[in-house]
């Protein structure tokens, strides 16, 4: 039954009016067909029965009429009767008869059909025998007029008329049925239209209601079922209007909430919940739409998969599946959105389930954390860099040594996740050697270094990516094939002071990515800094050692000077003061006892004081000649040179170039002390005959050159053994003074060729001009 119903539902039109029409037509047709069939059968039966009755009557009557003639053998009478009967009834096809003593008398004009012999002496059927002839069906009726004798009367009656009538009646009935169907269809159409008009009206109102025209009502007050339906519709519309009003208020609240969420940067989307997999976007706020580069209206109706990155689909679906399975909300999940132009946005999402427009939906909250992720990534990279740099710095946080570089190289390779690397170090002459290597069998720089490709980084001061060639260090240092290998080389140090290079390579043909290159550069800088620091530490250590020696020397000199001053003070000034004291006591006594001796005493005291003062001035002058402060450098140098070299018989030659002028005090003091030390060394060690002083006053520098023709000395040896030779300390002191004032100091000397001291000090703007 259900199958029949389903079949009917499939083939029948949807319109009620059409269905009613079809039903009515079907009913009328069915009734017509049944009627036709019934009438057909009844008519056929009736006509056939009538025919049979008629045939039997005709045959019986004819038989009765012919009986006597058959008995008497009155053939003429019989033939005449047959012909008359045949002529009088158009339904008769033939008549034949025979009697006990007569041949067959028949009405066939051309001879008796032999096929009819079968009817003679055959069983007599009350309804005759139906024959099929070339002219249609013929029913043969047989009558035995003379019981017990061989006499038969056969009448053949055509059934064509019956069939014609049958067809005619059938056609009439079917025609009437068809007319009835048409009339029924028309009547049904109008009736159904009349009936369904209120329903159509109701449907129209429902459509209007569905389109939002909530004020529409139906004014159909009939007391029938449609009237009840109209009343129910009006009630429903009232309730819907009230519900929509409440919904609007609620939705306004939701929209306000969503808008507020948009303003704080929260993206919100509503996804239809269909089996937890196939979600259609029902609503998105501007934040969400902007995130993926669309307008909100463009996204409505799209599948959520169109805005999700393929690698996030499974996680999203799993989360929503959990909601579909009963969880109220998901935890925070990170997903990737695919923007309209291919950009990706990493978002934090959380989902929950709500009812939206009477159907289940998933509310999807998301926040763009792309920037945060990038920063985190950046931070991780930075951390990695810092860790790498820390490791490198820690590894190299010690005085310079090959082990330091090896450890630094190892940490660098660890940080870069590489296993082949080497460190090239330059000496003071610019020659390089491999100070550390790892992942290589032997390390020796190519002969062209640093003019080879990797040495170019040293020349340019930039990172170089070098494809390994036959002259490359790597080509001969590893067992693996170097075809296609590439190594990266970063300089260590500053462009103005290159210390070496760090080179690293993959053990397979692979390109260096930007991060690794950046990290390598950072490591290079760190390593360079560490290397430079190591050098500086070494220099500092040396300098501090020198300083200590200088300080010790200075202290020693100071102590010597103090001793000298103390001796001179003690020997001269002290005694003079003591004499003065005695003299004063004598005066005191004289005042009391001998006032007359006061004056000579005072005169002697004055002379003693003058001598003492003179002695003190000599001491003071030796400490710091006032001429330096009063007259300047040149007069002070002249005085000192004359006083110390001249008295030794050394000829002093002066050459002053430039605009002689007063220099800042510290410049003059430094130049004076340097010259003082040089002069001291000359008269102590040089055994010179002549000393040339050349002072050049420039605009921005002052140059002092002191050249003697003495014995000279080995400068490196003297400086290297300064602790054993005071001259070495003196030279270091001179250099220290010059460098303290950002100047330069040279000493040129060789044994037997004299010595030349050159000092160049920069001048400041606020010098005093003569």
CB of 355 to another protein, least distance (A): 37
Distance between CA atoms of residues 475 and 498, nearest Å = 25
Q: By CB under 8 A, is residue 266 in contact with another protein?
A: no
**Closer Cβ to another protein, 38 or 249, answer by number:** 38
* Closest alpha carbon to 502 in 448, 452, 464: 464
DSSP string, 595-637: GGGHHHHHHHHHHHHHHHHHHHHHHHHHHS-HHHHHT-HHHHH
Q: By CB under 8 A, is residue 152 in contact with another protein?
A: yes
SS3 422: strand
From the list 20, 51, 59, 94, which residue makes contact with another protein (rule: CB under 8 A)? 94
Q: By CB under 8 A, is residue 720 in contact with another protein?
A: no
**Closer Cβ to another protein, 79 or 290, answer by number:** 79
Distance between CA atoms of residues 325 and 332, nearest Å = 17
Q: By CB under 8 A, is residue 9 in contact with another protein?
A: no
From the list 9, 115, 355, 630, which residue makes contact with another protein (rule: CB under 8 A)? 115
Q: By CB under 8 A, is residue 176 in contact with another protein?
A: no
Q: By CB under 8 A, is residue 46 in contact with another protein?
A: no
Q: By CB under 8 A, is residue 31 in contact with another protein?
A: no
CB of 2 to another protein, least distance (A): 20
**Closer Cβ to another protein, 31 or 305, answer by number:** 31
Distance between CA atoms of residues 4 and 10, nearest Å = 10
Contacting range for another protein; rule: CB under 8 A; set: 127-135, 244-252, 287-295, 470-478: 127-135
From the list 16, 42, 87, 120, which residue makes contact with another protein (rule: CB under 8 A)? 120
CB of 207 to another protein, least distance (A): 23
Residue 522 DSSP label: H
Distance between CA atoms of residues 559 and 544, nearest Å = 21
Distances (CA, A) of 70 to 76, 85, 93, 148, 320: 10, 16, 21, 13, 109
* Closest alpha carbon to 216 in 198, 200, 199, 236: 236
* Closest alpha carbon to 493 in 425, 446, 409: 425
Contacting range for another protein; rule: CB under 8 A; set: 39-47, 410-418, 595-603, 618-626: 39-47
**Closer Cβ to another protein, 133 or 469, answer by number:** 133
SS3 373: helix
Contacting range for another protein; rule: CB under 8 A; set: 145-153, 315-323, 518-526, 718-726: 145-153
Q: By CB under 8 A, is residue 372 in contact with another protein?
A: no
Q: Side-chain half-sphere of 303: how many Cα atoms within 13 Å?
A: 10
Q: By CB under 8 A, is residue 113 in contact with another protein?
A: yes
Distance between CA atoms of residues 323 and 349, nearest Å = 14
Distance between CA atoms of residues 330 and 327, nearest Å = 7
Q: By CB under 8 A, is residue 375 in contact with another protein?
A: no
Contacting range for another protein; rule: CB under 8 A; set: 22-30, 78-86, 404-412, 514-522: 22-30
* Closest alpha carbon to 140 in 163, 165, 115, 164: 115
CB of 160 to another protein, least distance (A): 12
Q: By CB under 8 A, is residue 157 in contact with another protein?
A: no
Which residues within the stretch 407-436 sit at the binding site for another protein (CB under 8 A)?
none
Contacting range for another protein; rule: CB under 8 A; set: 130-138, 315-323, 486-494, 754-762: 130-138
Instruction: Tell me, residue by residue from 60 to 79, as one string, x for binding to another protein by CB under 8 A and - for no binding.
Output: ----x--xx-xxxx------
CB atoms within 10 A of CB 24: 21
Distances (CA, A) of 178 to 33, 64, 394, 661: 10, 48, 109, 142
Alpha-carbon Rg of the chain, whole angstroms?
69
Question: Which pair of structure tokens corresponds to residue 198?
Answer: 């209120």
The enclosing H or E element of 361 equals strand 359-368
Q: By CB under 8 A, is residue 285 in contact with another protein?
A: no
Question: Which pair of structure tokens corresponds to residue 18?
Answer: 């059409």
Contacting range for another protein; rule: CB under 8 A; set: 140-148, 187-195, 364-372, 557-565: 140-148
CB of 197 to another protein, least distance (A): 25
Cα 30 from chain centroid?
73
CB atoms within 10 A of CB 421: 24
Q: By CB under 8 A, is residue 3 in contact with another protein?
A: no
Q: By CB under 8 A, is residue 758 in contact with another protein?
A: no
Distance between CA atoms of residues 150 and 71, nearest Å = 10
Distance between CA atoms of residues 413 and 153, nearest Å = 134
Q: By CB under 8 A, is residue 48 in contact with another protein?
A: yes
Counting residues that bind another protein (by CB under 8 A) gives: 63
Q: By CB under 8 A, is residue 181 in contact with another protein?
A: yes
By the criterion CB under 8 A, which residues form the site for another protein?
11, 13, 22, 25-26, 29, 33, 36-37, 40-41, 44, 48, 64, 67-68, 70-73, 93-94, 98, 100-101, 103-104, 106, 108, 110-116, 118-121, 129-135, 137-138, 145-150, 152, 163, 166-167, 170, 174, 177, 181
């Amino acid at each position: 039954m259900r199958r029949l119903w389903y079949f009917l539902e499939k083939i029948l039109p949807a319109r009620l009016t059409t269905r009613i029409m079809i039903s009515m037509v079907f009913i009328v047709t069915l009734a017509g067909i049944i009627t036709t069939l019934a009438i057909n059968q009844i008519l056929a039966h009736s006509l056939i029965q009538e025919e049979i009755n008629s045939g039997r009557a005709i045959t019986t009557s004819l038989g009765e009429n012919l009986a006597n003639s058959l008995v008497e053998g009155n053939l003429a009478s019989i033939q005449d009767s047959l012909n008359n009967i045949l002529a009088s009834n158009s339904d008769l096809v033939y008549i034949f008869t025979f009697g006990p003593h007569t041949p067959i008398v028949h009405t066939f004009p051309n001879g008796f059909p032999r096929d009819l012999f079968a009817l003679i002496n055959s069983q007599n059927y009350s309804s005759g025998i139906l024959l099929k002839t070339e002219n249609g069906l013929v029913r043969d009726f047989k009558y035995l007029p003379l019981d017990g004798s061989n006499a038969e009367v056969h009448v053949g009656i055509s059934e064509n008329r019956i069939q014609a009538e049958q067809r005619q009646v059938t056609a009439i009935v079917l025609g009437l049925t068809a007319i009835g169907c048409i009339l029924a269809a028309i009547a049904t159409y109008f009736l159904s239209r009349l009936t369904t008009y209120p329903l159509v009206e109701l449907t129209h109102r429902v459509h209007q209601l569905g389109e939002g025209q909530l004020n529409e009502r139906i004014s159909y007050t009939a007391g029938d079922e449609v009237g009840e339906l109209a009343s129910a519709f009006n009630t429903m519309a009232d309730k819907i209007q009230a519900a929509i009003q409440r919904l609007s208020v609620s939705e306004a609240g939701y929209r306000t909430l969503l808008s507020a969420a948009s303003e704080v940067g929260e993206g919100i989307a509503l996804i239809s919940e269909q089996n937890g997999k196939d979600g259609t976007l029902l609503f998105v706020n501007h934040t969400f739409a902007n995130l993926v580069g669309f307008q909100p209206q463009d996204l409505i109706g799209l599948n959520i998969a169109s805005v999700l990155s393929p690698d996030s689909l499974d996680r999203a679906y799993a989360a929503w599946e959990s909601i579909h399975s009963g969880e109220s909300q998901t935890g925070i999940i990170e997903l990737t959105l695919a923007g309209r132009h291919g950009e990706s946005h990493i978002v934090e999402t959380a989902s929950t389930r709500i009812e939206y427009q009477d159907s289940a939906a998933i509310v999807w909250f998301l926040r763009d954390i792309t920037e945060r992720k990038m920063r985190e990534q950046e931070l991780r990279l930075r951390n990695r860099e810092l860790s790498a740099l820390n490791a490198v710095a820690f590894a190299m946080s010690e005085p310079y040594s090959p082990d330091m570089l090896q450890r630094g190289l190892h940490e660098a390779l660890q940080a870069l996740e590489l296993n082949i690397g080497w460190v090239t170090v330059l000496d003071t002459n610019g020659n390089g050697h491999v100070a550390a290597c790892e992942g290589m069998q032997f390390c020796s720089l190519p002969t062209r270094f640093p003019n080879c490709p990797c040495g170019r980084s040293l020349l340019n001061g930039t990172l170089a990516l070098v494809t390994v060639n036959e002259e490359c260090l790597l080509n001969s240092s590893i067992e693996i094939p170097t075809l296609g290998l590439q190594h990266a080389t970063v300089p260590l140090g500053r462009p103005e002071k290159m210390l070496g290079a760090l080179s690293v390579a993959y053990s397979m043909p692979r390109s260096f990515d930007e991060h690794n290159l950046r990290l390598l550069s950072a490591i290079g800088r760190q390593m360079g800094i560490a290397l430079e620091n190591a050098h500086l530490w070494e220099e500092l250590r040396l300098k501090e050692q020198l300083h200590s020696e200088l300080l010790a020397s200075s202290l020693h000199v100071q102590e010597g000077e103090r001793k000298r001053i103390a001796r001179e003070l003690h020997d001269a000034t002290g005694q003079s003061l003591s004499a003065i004291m005695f003299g004063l006591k004598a005066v005191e006594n004289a005042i009391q006892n001998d006032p007359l001796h006061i004056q000579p005493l005072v005169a002697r005291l004055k002379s003693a004081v003058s001598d003492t003062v003179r002695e003190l001035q000599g001491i003071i002058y030796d400490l710091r000649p006032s001429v330096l402060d009063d007259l300047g450098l040149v007069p002070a140098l002249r005085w000192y040179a004359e006083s110390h070299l001249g008295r030794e018989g050394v000829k002093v030659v002066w050459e002053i170039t430039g605009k002689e002028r007063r220099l800042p005090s510290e410049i003059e003091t430094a130049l004076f002390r340097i010259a003082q030390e040089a002069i001291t060394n000359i008269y102590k060690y040089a055994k010179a005959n002549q000393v040339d002083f050349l002072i050049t006053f420039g605009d921005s520098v002052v140059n002092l050159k002191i050249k003697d023709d003495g014995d000279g000395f080995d400068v490196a040896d003297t400086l290297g053994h300064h602790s054993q030779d005071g001259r070495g300390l003196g030279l270091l002191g001179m250099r220290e003074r010059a460098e303290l004032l950002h100047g330069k100091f040279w000493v040129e000397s060789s044994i037997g060729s004299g010595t030349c001291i050159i000092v160049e000090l920069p001048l400041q703007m606020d010098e005093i001009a003569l």
